[in-house]
Amino acid sequence: MNETDTLEILKKLVDVHAPSGFEDSIRPLMISELEKYADEIKVDPLGNVIGIKWGSNLKGPKVMLSAHMDEVGLIVKHITDDGFIYFEKLGMMDDRILLARKVRIHTKNGSIQGVIGVKPKHLLSPDELARSVSFRDMWIDIGAQNRREAEEMGVLPGDPVTFEGELQTLNRDNFVVGRALDNRLGCTALIQTMKELSNENNDATMYAVATVMEEVGGRGAKVAASVINPDLAVALDVTHGIDPGVTAKWSAIQLGDGPGIRLMDIHEPTLLGCTTPVWLKNLILSVAKEEDIPYQIDILSGTFLDSSTIHLAGKGIPSIGILIPRRNGHTPVEIACLSDLRNSIRLISALIRNLTPNNIAKFRGRSN
């Protein structure tokens, strides 16, 4: 595995701005990277990119590897007569991280810069100081004097908005920081896994799927899974790495200790989530141990993955997540460890090599 190549791909992906529902800008890049190693590329009506690498065994299993292309962002809702812009959120994020952020509005005339305005502390009342500010009380300032000027700059309701924050190495080359690591890390793992296996003859047929609209409910993945109807699926995504704000009662996942293997998750407000079948858990843990690949067990509430909708498609699809730890989730300053990304690619590749009909039958028998 070429480590420099992996970092370069991640940087290219992070440089592209593509919030949920607006993946048109990143789709060509995913196609150009996947088609180097896939036997066939398709784009479904919802916009998912599907790269297929045929297995050598006609009776071999079909595996769907899913990594979502979209990132959290905002969408223009209304422009005031004074030229200020109100917005809605695309995906889950803490309102507190929005204040005073630099943003980019993607208009028909190209992207323009703006900032999310904030009332100066000098003018805040004691009541305002004591409470959090809702995103509905925030606005984007693009330096327009009025609505006409904003519209002349190209801004219209429905335009997507993303955060600024290019990819940078953080003190040590093994750590990176930037926006949209959720889930450009998973997309990088998807591409590099296809590259790793491109010259191999494995039993399994791989469907490398770059999905749309995961951050708003795993929508694209369910559509793709319904079309592919795989025998099993792996969601390539990120998880919460422990830090002073994410204590052990929420997560025990450490950056640098290997990918997380997600066995259960649930997002309580929507009940989206997935529980991994015992046989699939046993199979992937066996592969990790045999290949001496570090891993961490990940069980988490308050969240969901593409696997949350994939496993419900068709007649039911056994699903699991292989996740790259990162800190500061859904902010423009997400932090991750490149060794975790590399070990994720190793683990996914090893799993594909072990997906033979006999091996699957053996592990399925253990859970009966």
Catalytic-residue membership of 268: no
Mean pLDDT value across residues 193-208: 95
CA dist 169 and 216 (Å) reads 29
Check residues 170 and 231 and name the one with the higher pLDDT. Answer: 231
Mean pLDDT, all residues of the chain: 93
Among the options 33, 214, 215, 334, which is catalytic? Answer: 214
Closest CA to 70 of 25, 7, 121: 25
Read off the pLDDT of residues 287-331 as tens digits, 9 standing for 90 and up.
999 999 999 999 988 888 999 999 999 999 999 999 999 999 999
268 pLDDT band, cuts 50/70/90, is confident
Read off the pLDDT of residues 202-211 as tens digits, 9 standing for 90 and up.
999 999 999 9
Q: Is the pLDDT of residue 18 over 90?
A: yes
pLDDT exceeding 70 applies to what percent of the chain?
Answer: 97
Read off the pLDDT of residues 57-74 as tens digits, 9 standing for 90 and up.
888 999 999 999 999 999
Read off the pLDDT of residues 247-256 as tens digits, 9 standing for 90 and up.
666 778 899 9
Domains with residue ranges and CATH for the chain: 3-71+179-366 (3.40.630.10), 74-163 (2.40.30.40)
What pLDDT, on the 0 to 100 scale, is given for residue 120?
84
Read off the pLDDT of residues 83-133 as tens digits, 9 standing for 90 and up.
999 999 999 999 999 999 999 999 999 999 999 998 888 888 888 788 888
Check residues 29 and 134 and name the one with the higher pLDDT. Answer: 29
Strands (DSSP E) found in the chain:
40-43, 49-53, 62-68, 73-79, 85-90, 102-107, 110-116, 140-141, 160-163, 168-170, 172-178, 205-211, 232-240, 260-267, 272-275, 296-301, 319-327, 334-337
